[in-house]
Amino acid sequence: MKSQSDKITLLVVRDAERPVRQLQLSRPMALALPAAAVLSLSSLISSMHYHASRSIQELEAEAAALSSQNVRLEAKIADKEKTLQQVQSEAAGLSKEAKTIKERLKSVDALEKELQNLINQQEEDANGKESTADISIQGKRSSSGAGSESKAIFATPAHSASPSAITIRIGAFTAAIEDTPALRVGGEYVATYGNGELRTILETKDELAELSGMLEEMVRSLSRTVLDAHKAEADLEQQKLRHNARQTQSFLWPTSSRTVSSSFGYRTDPFKGSSSFHAGIDIAAQTGDFIFAAQRGTVLAAEWSAARGNYIVIDHGNGLQTSYMHLSSAAVSAGDKVVKGQRIGQVGNTGRSTGPHLHFQVSKQNETVNPLSYVQPN
């Protein structure tokens, strides 16, 4: 580069084969070019710095926003986890309460079965064994009172709410609890329960608590009903015993002899010598002694058979009958009405007999019973 007083010459050497070029610049221009280059470079650096600062600020703002969002997400996740734990706790409690209700249902079923057995027993007694005339009259007079109350005792439980539907409901609810996804663990799981699910669980819990209260009241009610049924059954049994006692007092000893030669029940057969059942009592007497009707009634039979000889059967009503066997003669015929103490025949030794005696037999509902439960020789 050559320097003159007012110009500056620049020599530009491109390569060895090309000529050298000369550029002449004025001194001010030569000084302005480096300054312009420095200014341009400085401006570029400043611009880059400004853009970099702005980008950094934007990134920091985005980072702050992401951090705030992350905090909110963490809080929301924590709340969801808390809700999930509460749902799991409530579901476990409901499952336990469902098991408790199942146990109560078993108690209800047992009470219902016991009550149904009492109902069936009472129906069998009503169908198979009619009450005596005195009990019937008293029952008719008091049918609007204790009688209707007794019927209500036995009828009400039969129409009570059937536990089968409740059992099905509890079973389905228990299955739903056991199949709840919140109760499953393992792997990566993201909680998705919200207030809706928790509200449903709480509503179900309230409903189950109400159902538990209903079952508790049902158990108490059935228990009281069963106790009342047992009491009514005991009262009825006492009434039957009192009636039997009155009926025993009202029976008359059928002959003048008071000697019982063979009792009711198993004995040694006088002909075969083996054990056999004796369905009545034998009263030793003299041939020709009078025989009297033990109670008023209607003569069902006055006939003869090889085993019984001459015999009479009298129906006294309400399933009660008396039989008089081995008679020498009969003074009544089938269809006759007799009164208590009326002479109906005479003692004899006819039929399967070893000597003069009266075989006296009492039947209740077509089953022989011990005559000494109705009448005594003294």
> Is the Cβ–Cβ distance between 232 and 153 less than 8 Å?
yes
Instruction: Give the pLDDT confidence of 250-281 residue by residue, as tens digits.
Output: 789 999 999 999 999 888 888 887 888 999 99
Give CA–CA dist 330/291, Å, rounded: 9
Count of alpha carbons within 13 angstroms of residue 296, beta-carbon side: 3
CA distances from 75 to 61, 139, 182, 196 (A): 21, 77, 20, 19
Q: Which two tokens stand for residue 36?
A: 């312009």
For residue 240, which phi and psi values (nearest 5 degrees)? -65, -40
Residue 337 CA to residue 121 CA, distance in Å, equals 35
Given a contact cutoff of 8 angstroms between Cβ atoms, the answer to whether 372 and 281 are in contact is: yes
> Count of residues for the chain?
378
The mean pLDDT value for 49-67 works out to 89
The amino acid sitting at 201 is I
Whether residue 69 has pLDDT greater than 70: yes
User: What pLDDT is recorded for position 342?
Assistant: 95
pLDDT at 85: 81
95-112, pLDDT tens digit by residue? 777 777 777 777 777 777
For residue 331, the one-letter residue type is A
73-84 average pLDDT score:
85
As a whole number, mean pLDDT of residues 223-243 equals: 78
Q: What is the spatial distance between Cα 297 and Cα 339, in angstroms, rounded to a whole number?
A: 7
Please tell me the predicted confidence (pLDDT) of residue 175. Answer: 52
CA–CA separation, 363 and 325 (whole Å): 14
Q: Which amino acid is at 157?
A: P
The whole-number pLDDT of residue 125 equals: 66
Residue 339 contacts residue 293 (beta carbons within 8 Å)? yes
- What average pLDDT does the chain have? 76
Q: Per the confidence metrics, is the pTM higher than 0.95?
A: no
Count of beta carbons in the 10 Å neighbourhood of residue 307: 10
Contacts of 290 (CB under 8 A, 6+ apart): 255, 256, 343, 345, 346, 347
3-state SS string for the chain: CEECCCEEEEEECCCCCCCCEEEEEEHHHHHHHHHHHHHHHHHHHHHHHHHHHHHHHHHHHHHHHHHHHHHHHHHHHHHHHHHHHHHHHHHHHHHHHHHHHHHHHHHHHHHHHHHHHHHHHHHHHHHHCCCCHHHHHHHHHCHHHHHHHHHHHHHCHHHCCCHHHHHHHHHHHHHHHHCCHHHCCCCCCCCCCCHHHHHHHHHHHHHHHHHHHHHHHHHHHHHHHHHHHHHHHHHHHHHHHHHHHHHHHHCCCCECCCEEEECCEEEECCCCCCEEEECCEEEECCCCCEEECCCCEEEEEEEEECCCEEEEEEEEECCEEEEEEEEEEECCCCCCEECCCCEEEEEECCCCCCCCEEEEEEEECCEEECHHHCCCCC
| Two tokens, residue 131 | 């009450």
Considering only residues 234 and 371, tell me which one the structure prediction assigns the higher pLDDT.
Answer: 371
CB 264 within 8 A of CB 373: no
Tell me how far apart the alpha carbons of residues 194 and 191 are, in angstroms, rounded to a whole number: 9
| Distance from C-alpha of 298 to C-alpha of 251, rounded to nearest angstrom | 15
pLDDT single digits (tens) 148-177: 444 443 444 434 444 444 444 455 445 544
What residues are paired with 5 via a beta bridge? none
In this model, does residue 190 exceed pLDDT 70?
no
